[in-house]
Structures are given as C-alpha cells and as structure tokens.
Amino acid sequence: MKSVKMKLIKLKNKTIKFSKKVVKEHLIREYYKKNVLFCTFVLTCIVNSTLLRFFCMHTMENYLSIKPIIADLMIVTFVGSFGYLIKPKNRFTYYLIAEIFFTAICMINSVYYTFYTSFASVSMLSLTQYIGEVGDAVVENVIQLKDLIYLIGPITLIAVNTKLKRINYYKKVEPKAERKKRTIRTLSASGIIALLFIVTLNSLDVTRFIKQWNREYIVMRFGIYIYQANDLVTSLQPKINALFGYDQANKKFIEYFSEKEEPSKNEYSNIFEGKNVVVIHGESMQTNVIGLKFNGQEVTPNLNRLASEGMYFSNFYSQVSVGTSSDTELTFTTSLMPTQSGTAFVSYSDRTYNSIPKEMKKKGYYVYSMHANNADFWNRRAMHESLGYDRFYSKVDYNVTKENTIGLGLSDKEFFKQSISKIEKESKEHDKWYSLLIMLTNHTPFSETEKYGEFDVSIKEKVTKEDGVVEEVTYPYMENTKLGNYFKSIHYADSALGEFIDNLDKKGLLDNTVFILYGDHDARLPKKDYNRLYNYDKEHDKVLDSTDPNYKEYDSYQYELGRKVPFIIWTKDMKGTDLNKENTNVMGMYDVMPTLGNMFGFYNKYGLGHDIFSIKDKNIVVFPNGNWVTNDVYYNSQKGEYLSLNGKAISEADIKKNNEYSTKLLDVSNQIIVFNLLKQDEDENKVIETQEKVK
C-alpha cells in the first residue's frame, strides 16, 4: 500500500516537472517568436563580446567567467529595450545601428589588443602621435581573421531580418501604448539584471573601476561595453574639468611662482654634471627594512650597503594618492603632486610637463625607461612619451615566460639580467645616458614565497639542555604573516638588485654612473603585524599584552610615520668621501627633482619641492590628502590633530601657516596639470631656442 502511494507521489512530481518544462519552453518560444529581432540583437552582441575576451585573454577562468556576460546582458538589454519605442517596420534600422556600434567596439579592441595587449581607450585619441601609431597598427593588422569574426553579429541580424520580411512579420500594427509597455518591461528586465550584477561586486572591483587603469581586469569583470563607456567618461572628465576657471587658475599660478626664488649654489651644485644615471624605482620598498636582521641575517644586505656607502636620505616620504606607482613616477620626475581627482598618468597624459628627462635631454643625454610589464599599465606608454623619455622598453622587449614570472610579471632577477644588454647597447650608442628601471616583484600580496628563495623570518636559537646537548629551537615569529612574507619578498628584490649592480660593474657600466634608488610607496602592511614584530612573546608564541612592562606602543602615528621609503644616491667611489653620509632632514618625493637638478646642473622653476641641501631643516613634506610633516611636527588633516616629533610645544600659528602653505601648493599643482599651465611656458621656450639656433 505504502509503495503504491510512493509511486503515485513520484508520478505526480514528474508530471508537475514536465508540465513546468512545457510551460517554460513554450513561454520561451513564445517570447522569442514575438521578439526575434531583439533576441538576435542581444544574443549576437553577447557572443561578440565573449569572443573578444576569448581571443584576448586565454585562461580557462576567462573563458568561463559569467560575470562579464551578465554585465554585457545588462547593457545590451538596456539599449535594445528602446527599439520597442519604434514602429515595427523601422525597428530593424535601430537594431542594426546599435549592432554595428557594438561590433565596432569589439573589432577595434580586437585589433588594439593584438598590438598592445590591452584594450583601447578614447583618451589615446587626444594624443596625436598616438593616432599615428594606432593608425599604422590598424593598416598592418587589418587582414587578421579573428578581427573580422565579429561581423557575424550584423550579418546574422541582416539575415534574420530578411527572413522576417519574407514571412510578413512586420505587417502587424502595434499601437503606441503597446510599444511603450514592451519598452518598460524590457527596461525593467535590464534593471533586474543590473541589480543582480551589482550585488556580486566587491570593493576591489569598485576601486579598479574608478581608477580605470587595469583595463584587462575591468573587461573581465564588467565586460567590454561597460569598460568602453567608463573609459569614455574618464577620458572626457579631464576635458570638462579644464573648461572652467582657466583665467583664475593661471593668475594664481603666476602669483605662486613669482614669489619663488632660485636657490643659491651650494657644495652639491653640479657635482654629477655629465655622469650617466641609473634610477631604480623600488616597488614597495620601505625604509624600515634597512638594517633589519633575522637570526643575524640582513633582510636587505644590498640596500644596507648602498645606504652605508652613499648619500642616504633616511627621513624620506613618497607622496602618492590613488595612482600609487604612477603618482610616484610623476612626483619624482616633475616635482608636481598627484592630481586631486583621477590620476595624472591616466587622465592627464596629454599635458605639458617640466621633467627630469626633458632637462637631461637638453644636456645631451639619451633618456630611456624600462619596465617589463604591459606598457599600458598606468598608461605608461603615453605618459612616458609626455614626460620626455626617448624610449620605453616594456614587456614586449623582454622574454617573459611562465617560468620566469613571479606575481605581476617578469621576475626582478630576470628583468635586471635582460636589461643589462639593453643598457650596454644604449651606452655604446650614446655619449651620455639616463635610464629608469621600474621593479615589479616586490608587489603586494607577497604570496609567492616559494619563489623568493630561502629567508627565515622565524627566531632560531641554540638551547643547551640539562644533559648538555645543544638543540636548535625555532619560534615562528613572523612566519606566515603578511609582513613576514613581505620581508621574504624584499629580500628577493634586494638580492636581484645586488646581482644587477655586480653585473653593471662587470661591464664597466658603473664607472661613470650615478646610481639612484627610491622606494615608490609603502607596502600597505597590516598594523597588527608590526605590533607582532615589535612585541613578540616567543615563549608563548603570542603578542605581548599592552600592560606588559616590555610592551612597545605602536600607534597609528608611528604607523603613518613608518611609511617612509628609502632614497639613496650612490656611486662606486663614494664610500668614505664627504658625500657618504646619512641625511636625516625630512624630504619628499617632490624634492628629488630640485635636489638632483642642483647636482646635475638644471633648474625647474615650476617644481614644488626644494633642493634639500638648500632648504635643509626648514623643509615641509605635503601629502596629497593635506597631511604634512616637518622635522618637528606631523599633522593629520583629516583628524585635525598633530604630533610633536621633538617633544617641543608647537604654536597654533605655525600649524595654520603650514596648513595654508599645503592647501596652496596642492591647489596650484592640481591646476598646473588640469589647465595645462606649463604649455605656454614650453612653447615660449621653444621659440627662444629656435631664435637662438637661427642666430
């Protein structure tokens, strides 16, 4: 009896399932029949964008990712819904135009990706030299089959339309109210898809979307159509910003610099004139690793050596905003601050900059940069040109394989090895040269520890037991913490640096060369890990309690002030000379150009920093968020709080004066970039130079 009942229930369930399926299929078929054109349009546009991702980024994860498909679906449904507002007989024209538009996006990006392994940006069109490059690229590349495959979209739509015409599909009359209803219904569907998409976003997605520089990531997460729309907005924003307020900005700019005087000469003036230059951009290198040891082993033996043999600026800060690496490059190279919105590298690459490369070129140097990552990362391809580099060696100039990759790209050891021959070539071809090498491996999240080589961040101690036997005891200490992994990673980067210096020396490339190194920004490591570093209780493998007499306070101010990065100027023969010393005056990335300018014999009137050997202990380092630090005070503008660094009282009047100074400096820096205020000056200089040549 029971089993019969069970069978009946099963049968009932099956019937329900079957009828649901029938209804569903029927509904889908019905819907498709009524909306053939719309469905074809949506489907083909999604197939095209999926194909684009398929051809550009060949990893399984990329092929199978559903997120960009949802994003594309949202956009295409949105655009498609307006087709219903149009009378059936004209609807096809609307869908065809939209289809051609979406197909063009896919085709342009397909061509662009082949050449630049990145997706196209509208902002590039504002760079005339760039149009030339892309233009050539299109001509050479036009034949590739994979770029034409997207035409399948419009072709299918045309074919479907022909068939529909044949069966008199468009003869039906559709009242206006009905058309409106269909539009609203489809728009609602697009809204629901949008909601579905938004709930899957995390904070990393959002920040990357706002920054818009990691183009691959955005396409993989948001699809090509949203990427292109976002790109359009970020590209137009700087143009809009620059539309209003030029006259006032220019007036303020003239006022600001009319008060500035050229510093008088000092003992460092022109000391390096005519020498070749190697600049190292040390990814995430922090000052607090210098001199640090684990079990007697130095974390960074090579940085330590450079610091002890050269000019070491131990109270040096980077001044980055959201543009991290690129902001540091900007500030180092131009003595300007990062922009208040967007990033200079991405949004303002078409502006005129007074830069170290341009100054060195005037002195007869050949100036080049090297970075084994994709050239479009941080829009370097365009920006390095604007900054005046003669040549940019990027990923395409290096042999990058799976085996020699760590983290973001080519390992630092391999990068330096492969760079030597390029430097050798340039040094043979040019009398004087200036090079910038941008490191990459020591980049967050510092997780590929197995590739960094052995470096213990535990505590190892020899303990003599009661029976006299000596045993080694290991306490985990910083093992398996992010900070611990960072030490391993920077130990690797440091050893790459050591090898590089040795190899340069072997080739005689250090004989007449000034070696300059800066940490680009701090590594954003967790504060709690520093607490462990300074307060480790090895007996119990835990962090000391704050009530413990041995507890060392590590508060948020120490954390903020601990974000210092190294700045070192070193030559082979500096050790033991007058130049070989530690400089403890507070200094910022914007002081580099004026300081080097004094040493190499050039002056940038529009730099915001100072020659550190002229300003000495009177210096002030302003951060993009309005915080500032001097030798005596650190001021946090968000909290409106300050901290005395020398135990002395600080007058409110001094705080006010420095606040005004910082606000003015940040303002003028931003306006120089947004309103392109250095262009006029450069144009005038060019005229003078030409007149002099003619004479």
What does the binding site for ligand GP9 look like in residue numbers (CB under 6 A)?
324-325, 373, 377-378, 438, 440, 443
Q: Cβ closer to ligand GP9: 68 or 407?
A: 407
CB of 256 to Mn ion, least distance (A): 30
Task: Report which DSSP code applies to 615.
Answer: H
- Is 389:370 a contact under the CB 8 Å cutoff? no
**Closest CB to ligand GP9 among 373 and 535?**
373
DSSP string, 397-429: GS---STTEETTEE-HHHHHHHHHHHHHHHHHH
What dihedral do alpha carbons 50, 51, 56, 60 form, nearest 10°?
70
Question: Segment near Mn ion (CB under 5 A), from 349-357, 512-520, 628-636, 677-685?
Answer: 512-520
**Binding to Mn ion by residue 329, rule CB under 5 A?**
no
Q: In angstroms, what is the minimal distance from the CB of 348 to Mn ion?
A: 19
Per-residue DSSP letter, 84 = G
d(CA 633, CA 642): 7
Closest CB to ligand GP9 among residues 77, 379 = 379
Nearest distance from C-beta of residue 373 to ligand GP9, angstroms: 4
377 binds, among Mn ion, ligand GP9, none (CB under 5 to 8 A by kind): ligand GP9
Q: Which of 190, 234, 325, 379 binds Mn ion (CB under 5 A)?
A: 325
Tell me how far, at minimum, the Cβ of 624 lies from ligand GP9, in Å.
14
Between the two ends of the chain, the Cα-to-Cα distance in Å is: 115
CA distances from 417 to 10, 278, 494 (A): 70, 15, 14
Least Å from the CB of residue 481 to ligand GP9: 21
Residue closer to ligand GP9 by CB (options 477, 518) is 518
Nearest approach, Cβ of 406 to ligand GP9 (angstroms)? 13
Out of Mn ion, ligand GP9, none, what residue 120 binds, judged by CB under 5 to 8 A for its kind, is: none
Residue-wise burial string across 8-35, b where 16 or more C-beta atoms lie within 10 A, e elsewhere: eeeeeeeeeeeeeeeeeeeeeeeeeeeb
Q: Find which of ligand GP9, Mn ion, none residue 307 binds, CB within 5 to 8 Å per kind.
A: none
Nearest to ligand GP9 of 111, 330 (CB atom): 330
Minimum distance of ligand GP9 from residue 322's CB (angstroms): 9
Cβ proximity to ligand GP9, 325 vs 339, nearer residue: 325
Decide whether 374 or 636 has the Cβ nearer to ligand GP9. Answer: 374
- Counting runs of H as helices and runs of E as strands, what totals does the chain give? 25, 22
373 binds, among ligand GP9, Mn ion, none (CB under 5 to 8 A by kind): ligand GP9
C-beta closer to ligand GP9: residue 281 or 532: 281
Query: Quick one: CA torsion of 246, 249, 251, 257, rounded to 10 degrees?
Result: -140
Instruction: Compute the least distance from the CB of residue 211 to Mn ion, in Å.
Output: 13
CA proximity to 567, closest of 524, 527, 491, 621? 621
User: Between the CA atoms of 52, 56, 61 and 66, what dihedral angle is there, to the nearest 10 degrees?
Assistant: -20
Which C-beta is closer to Mn ion: that of 283 or that of 390?
A: 283
Kindly tell me which of 325 and 355 has the beta carbon lying closer to Mn ion.
325
Does residue 286 bind Mn ion (CB under 5 A)?
no
DSSP state of 265: P
Residues 451-480, interacting with Mn ion (CB under 5 A): none
Cis peptide before 445 (omega within 30 of 0): yes
- Whether the bond between 338 and the residue before it is cis, its omega within 30 degrees of 0, is no
Footprint on residues 305-324 left by Mn ion (CB under 5 A) = 324
Least distance (Å) between residue 488 CB and ligand GP9 = 18
Name the minimum Å distance from CB 493 to Mn ion. Answer: 12
Looking at the DSSP bridge assignments, the partners of residue 434 are 277, 367
How is residue 586 written in tokens? 């507070």
Least distance CB 410 / ligand GP9 (angstroms): 11
Which is closer to ligand GP9, CB of 190 or CB of 324?
Answer: 324
Q: Which residues pair with 643 in a beta bridge?
A: 634
Q: Which of 390, 412, 414, 520 is the binder for Mn ion (CB under 5 A)? A: 520
Q: Is 326 in the site for Mn ion (CB under 5 A)?
A: no
- 320's tokens: 């980055």
CB closer to ligand GP9, 44 vs 284: 284
- Smallest distance from the beta carbon of 243 to Mn ion, in angstroms? 32
Looking at the Cβ atoms of 493 and 665, the one nearer to ligand GP9 is: 493
Q: DSSP for 111-126, please give it.
A: HHHHHHSS---GGGGG
Interacting partner of 99 out of ligand GP9, Mn ion, none (Cβ under 5 to 8 A depending on kind)? none
The answer to whether 676 and 242 have CB atoms below 8 angstroms apart is yes
363: DSSP letter: T
Nearest alpha-carbon partner for 280 in 343, 319, 329:
329
What does the block give as tokens for 560?
């903020």
- Minimum Å gap between C-beta 440 and ligand GP9 is 6
Q: Exposed/middle/buried for 92, CB within 10 Å: 0-12, 13-18, 19+?
A: buried
Which residue in the shown chain puts its C-beta closest to Mn ion? 325
Measured over all CA atoms, what is the biggest interatomic distance in the chain, rounded to whole angstroms? 115
Q: How many residues bind Mn ion (CB under 5 A)?
A: 4
Q: Which is nearer to ligand GP9, 83 or 407 (CB)?
A: 407
310-318, 337-345, 448-456, 516-524 -> range binding Mn ion (CB under 5 A): 516-524
Spatial separation of the C-alpha atoms in residues 234 and 24, rounded to whole Å: 43
- In contact, 352 and 679? CB cutoff 8 Å: yes
Q: Which residues contact 546 (CB under 8 A, 6 or more apart)?
A: 553
**Please, what is the minimum distance in Å from the beta carbon of residue 357 to Mn ion?**
19
CB 331 within 8 A of CB 665: no
Contacting residues toward Mn ion, per CB under 5 A: 283, 324-325, 520
